[in-house]
Chain A
Amino acid sequence: MLEIKNLTKVYEGNVQALDDVSFNVQPGEFLAVIGLSGSGKSTLLRCINRLVEPTNGEVIWDGVDVTKAGPDELRRIRRQIGMIFQHFNLVERSKVLTNVLAGRLGYTNPAMSLVNRFSKKDVEMAYKQLERVGITDQANKRADELSGGQQQRVSIARAMMQNPKIILADEPVASLDPVLAHSIMQYLEKINKEDGVTIICSLHFLDLVHRYANRAIALNAGVLMFDGAPKEIDDVKFKEIYGKEAERVG
């Protein structure tokens, strides 16, 4: 369903963030992306929905090349791809409900959203998604009044509003404590198992990778170093991915 072919990204100032990365993603997979800080994980995820414009290569989504899509096409592609961020990226001064409803913007008419109107169906759907992540009672609070774990759940609800076929999660638990981390990962797992949503998730902790992912890819300085089942990451592979001095923790 998603094919990444020879993806390369060179940022301004000649920073090579991705170097000829190719891999495929099967429907229903839970794919972990690992690698050191600065290895290009975020860049990879953002190239998939073109939040970052790739320098070279193709991203084929359902047979369409995302990198060549025009504005309307891109909008239709993006709304099927949910995204979750390390720092939640909620609009802090808006209500939780509005934040969740914003996930619907790819479907609503731009002129209509000027007057801040969502259909009743969308509002009902938003409450349903909030219920799934267990924070219906917070719907009318301002987003910044919520704790980190709650905010990340709001952002999952927002992504789910898109009816996504795939969710890109960029270190979704890196700013949460371990207990909350597991609870968020379990929500993702549930979405993956129950709704069949494909998940690509960049992670820093290998135990999370082992526990939740059924496949992992690893980047080192923008180069794809590993592609396989998490349990295949042995000490040799580990040193390849994280460098010679690295020690395994956790």
Chain B
Amino acid sequence: MRCDLKKKSSILKSLRTGLLIAISIIVFAYAFQVTNVNFETTRSEVRITQLTRVLRALAKPELVEYDTTEEEISSPFYLPCPDNGEIEGIEKNTNLAYIQTSVICASPKETITVEGFNMPANIKGPINFLAASGVKRQLANFETNSDGYFSVDVVVPTRQPVAEAQYITATIRTTTGLPKWTETAKATWDKIIETVFIALLATTIGTAASIPISFIAARNLMKDSTSTPTSTALNIIGFPLGAYLGYIFSKWIIDLLSPFEKNVFITLIGLIISGVIAYFSLRKGLPSEDIKKPTNSVKIQRFAFIFIAGVMAILSIILFGEFTKLAGEALENLLGPIGFLGYALFQIGDITSMLVPALTAIAFGGVIVSVFNKVGLSLQDNLNTSILKIINIVLSTIAGAILFALVMAVINWFYQFNNPRISLYYPVIIGGFAGFILAVIAKPKHLLPTGFIIYTITRTILNALRSIEPLVMAIIAVIWVGIGPFAGSLALALHTIAALAKLYSEQVESIDDGPLEAIHATGANKLQTIVYAVIPQIIPPYISFTMYRWDINVRMSTIIGFVGGGGIGFLLQQNINLLSYRSASVQMLAIAVVVASMDYVSSKIRERIV
């Protein structure tokens, strides 16, 4: 009985195995067809000669060249043979290099033999027919043997009959002087530097941006963040409101300042004054220690100081942007060869000016959110459940409406419905209804896992971004900022953010919880816990991942030029299209050298740190 069962199962088993094998054979057979596998082409003679030629060209990168001198060895020749048969013979110095034709005169299209003697050994060169008119025509190439001798059959060209002697010449080219870099080598050097800097910029920007994101994308830091329905609804209402106010406010200040923005001194003085005021009001508003519980009037006073500090900070950031732009412009002309420092300064100023409205919007949003949070908490503590429930229902209806309207506004931007019913009314109604239902269902004091939701959204966005190939991103960036290294840097930076933020956050998730708990227990808040317990633990893996990414970015930046992203890829693609494989070979060599040395350096640094 048992034996029988075993047998049955073993038959089943072998059937299954057989089926699996059959399926895999079919899959691979199909794969052969789809991928056009055709080994006949690999043996075709034409293709093999082509391949050989290209490979040989690639093996000889056009790196250096020499100055050459040419010496022409000639021998007189009559075409056609003179009618009277008189030919002036000439004496040849047989101690020097000379050439000898088998006959001294011939008719067009006759084949003659040219021999060379005492030539330099093992050289190649052209054999020309130098007509009386001075026109040169190449007849063949010669190649001397180790004794400096050659013999080549050539066909005499068709020419107008001329009485006097014309010449058959052999050109000896000799290289002189030291090897020089070819133009290709120089261009390659320029572009490889560009390539390395694309990688550098992309890595730096990407790293800087992905560190804060990685904290938001770390489960262990976010999972404990919860908020009450009241605060959540208030936040959803408050942030867009604050951001909008901030945006308006920054525009207003920028307008206000615009009459002075071209004046270096006013901007500088303004920058210093606003900076100092911001610093001191910040110190007043944020006392370094709080032993007792602050009273309400102290709290209001502090808030006022922080508000002044914030406004002054915005002012000084705007002025900083304007000042650096002006200073950069001036320095660019002044500094001459190191004018690029001025250029960099100008760009920094420009980035600052560009970011001001966004920063202000975020700052205002943040302030309103934190104020609303406090309001939400105190409502929570001081109201009884039924009133709170009513408030929650109202707030969350509004919040749902706003949230849906905002999301729909983004979707509408892409699809351009041109229909307020779809882009505004429906989302507001549906969102409001969803918020209403949620608030009705949820217990008013139940905590919502806000942290977990933010974590999930961040992770999803990162995963989506990461699945877009950098080359595709580069294509989009090229459309945005034009062909060139800037597009490549942008694309790589974006991809770096997506990739590093994920790797980093996984590191944050794997840190030791103990210190976190201990620091938390001292009364430290989230920010302090991150600074004192999280960051010290993640520095080594962060550095190691950054090096790893730098490595990848160097590789990527070598080919991002294929789609117009700047760097060496552009040159390489050009040369391949022009079939100049010897030039292309130089670029391939450069890529190999750079990638290999980056690989080495980064692995050394990683070894040091970990």
Q: A59-86 vs B: 1/0 string, CB under 8 Å?
A: 0000000001011001111110111010
Cα of A216 to Cα of B192 in the assembled complex, Å? 73
Interface residues in B527-567 by Cβ distance below 8 A to A read 527-528, 531-533, 536-537, 539-540
Known: A98-B532, A158-B518. A105 touches B288 (CB 8 A): no
Binds A, one of B241-249, B289-297, B479-487: B289-297
With an 8 A cutoff between CB atoms, is A91 at the interface?
yes
Assess whether A109 is in contact with B531, with CB atoms less than 8 Å apart: no
A116 touching B523 by the CB < 8 A rule? Answer: no
Closest to B539 in A: A93
Known contacts A85-B514, A102-B532, A105-B528, A91 near B537 by CB under 8 Å = yes
Q: Which A residues lie within 8 Å of B523 (CB)?
A: 74-79, 105-107, 162
Output the least CB separation between A11 and chain B (Å). Answer: 14
Query: Would A89 and B524 count as touching, CB distance under 8 A?
Result: no
How many residues of chain A are within 8 Å of chain B by beta carbon? 43
Residues of B within 8 A of A107 (CB): 289-291, 523
A93 & B536 in contact (Cβ 8 Å cutoff): yes
| Residue-wise interface mask of A (131-166) relative to B, using a CB-CB cutoff of 8 A (1 in contact, 0 not) | 000000000000000000000000100100110000
Contact B524 A109 (CB under 8 A): no
**What mask results when residues 492 to 515 of chain B are scored 1 for a CB within 8 Å of chain A, else 0?**
000000000000000000001011
- A77: nearest chain-B partner, CB-CB: B523
The answer to whether A113 has its CB under 8 Å from any CB of chain B is: yes
Known contacts A76-B293, A109-B286, A109-B287; A91/B533 CB under 8 A: yes
Is A250 an interface position by the 8 A CB rule?
no
Interface residues of A in 30-88 (CB under 8 A from B): 49, 51, 68, 70-71, 74-79, 81-83, 85, 87-88
Min distance, Cβ A42 to any Cβ of chain B, angstroms: 11
B65 within 8 A of A: no
Tell yes or no: A90 within 8 A of B by CB: yes
Asked if B289 contacts A108 (CB within 8 A), the reply is: yes
A90-B518 contact, Cβ under 8 Å, with A113-B531, A119-B288, A119-B289: yes
Q: Please give the distance in Å from A93's CB to the nearest CB on chain B.
A: 5
Residues on the B chain within 8 Å of A90, using CB = 515, 518
Could you say which residues of chain A place their CB within 8 Å of the CB of B524?
A: 102, 105-106, 110, 113
- Residue-wise, chain A 99-125 has the 8 Å CB interface mask toward B (1 for contact) of 000111111111111101001000000
Q: Find out whether the CB atom of B520 lies under 8 angstroms from the CB atom of A51.
A: yes
Given contacts A94-B536, A107-B289, A108-B288, contact A85 B528 (CB under 8 A): no
B522 touches A78 (CB 8 A): yes
Contact assessment for B525 and A75 in the assembled complex, using a CB-CB cutoff below 8 Å: yes
Chain B: minimal CB distance from A85 (Å): 6
Q: In the assembled complex, which residues on chain B have CB atoms less than 8 Å from the CB atom of A106?
A: 522-524
Report B-chain residues with C-beta under 8 Å of the C-beta of A119: 288-289
User: Nearest-CB distance from A75 to chain B (Å)?
Assistant: 5
How many angstroms between the C-alpha atoms of A110 and B522 in the bound complex?
Answer: 13
- Min distance, Cβ B604 to any Cβ of chain A, angstroms: 21
Q: A77-B523, A85-B517 are in contact. List 15 more A-B contacts (CB 8 A).
A: A76-B293, A79-B522, A85-B518, A88-B514, A89-B518, A91-B537, A106-B523, A106-B524, A108-B288, A109-B288, A110-B528, A111-B282, A158-B522, A161-B522, A162-B522
- Interchain Cβ contacts under 8 Å between A and B, 22 examples: A51-B520, A75-B525, A76-B293, A76-B523, A78-B520, A81-B521, A85-B518, A87-B514, A89-B517, A91-B515, A92-B536, A93-B536, A94-B536, A102-B518, A104-B522, A107-B523, A109-B286, A110-B525, A110-B528, A112-B286, A114-B531, A162-B523
Q: Which residues of B contact A (CB under 8 A)?
A: 282, 286-291, 293, 377, 381, 512, 514-515, 517-525, 527-528, 531-533, 536-537, 539-540
